[in-house]
Amino acid sequence: MITGVTKRSIPYVPESERTATKMQTVVWLVPKDGHSSNLTAARYAKAERTGRRGRRELDVETMDMADIEEFVSIVEKWEWFQFSDRFPELNTQVNKHPETQEELDPGIFPLVTDRVMLERIALDISPDLMIEIFETANSMSKLVDGEKKTPPLNLLRAVEVDKQGEKPSV
């Protein structure tokens, strides 16, 4: 039986991260339906223009903006990202591990949900990873195949007290 496309985000582990045991990258992707695919087509169509002698030309800046818009439309959140020196203010920032509160290496962010930060991730990742994310959001079978199988890391620090009320468990 075929079912409709869910609008809830699905935790996806990129292929290059599937063997990682610590700080495994998880990208929360919103699957695309027909309408969101049409929005994608419209974004990229804006980058095409008619040049001299009627030749089709692409506006690279508009294409770049379309990539970023596409990225933030399908990526809801990103777990475990380290910024490169392209963003020195982020590459040198020191954050704490959400569970142990130990300082992480500079540039490592355990959770990114802010749109501006997601845009920066879009600018910082490799083209092949960008393509993998786009293709995965377009294909429910790829998304389900790459779905994180273990429970997600509790990055929001929801702590429950055990039955005796003595020690918190994460």
Query: Would 3 be classed as within a structural domain?
Result: no
- Domain membership of residue 160 (yes or no) is yes
Residue 74 and residue 33 in contact, taking contact as beta carbons nearer than 8 Å: no
Structurally, the chain folds into a number of domains equal to 1
Mean pLDDT over the full length of the chain? 85
4 within a domain of the structure (yes/no): no
Residue 161 has pLDDT above 80, yes or no: no
pLDDT tens, position by position, 1-26: 877 888 889 999 999 999 988 899 99
In a domain, 5, yes or no: no
pLDDT higher than threshold 90 for residue 52: no
**Domain range for 64:** 10-169
Is 18 contained in some domain?
yes
Residue 69 lies in a domain: yes
Domain assignment present for residue 29? The answer is yes
120-156 residues labelled b (16+ CB within 10 A) or e (exposed): bbbbbbeeebbebbbebbeebebbeebebeeeebebe
Give the percent of the chain with pLDDT over 90.
62
Do the domain assignments include residue 109?
A: yes
d(CA 130, CA 102) in angstroms, rounded, equals 30
Alpha helices in the chain (DSSP H): 34-45, 60-74, 88-91, 115-124, 127-138, 140-145
If pLDDT is split at 50, 70 and 90, which confidence band does 168 have? very low
> Which pLDDT does position 81 carry in this prediction?
97
Between 40-44, 99-103, 149-153, the lowest mean confidence (pLDDT) is in: 149-153
Query: What does the pLDDT look like over 122-157, one tens digit per residue?
Result: 999 999 999 999 999 988 777 777 677 655 554 443
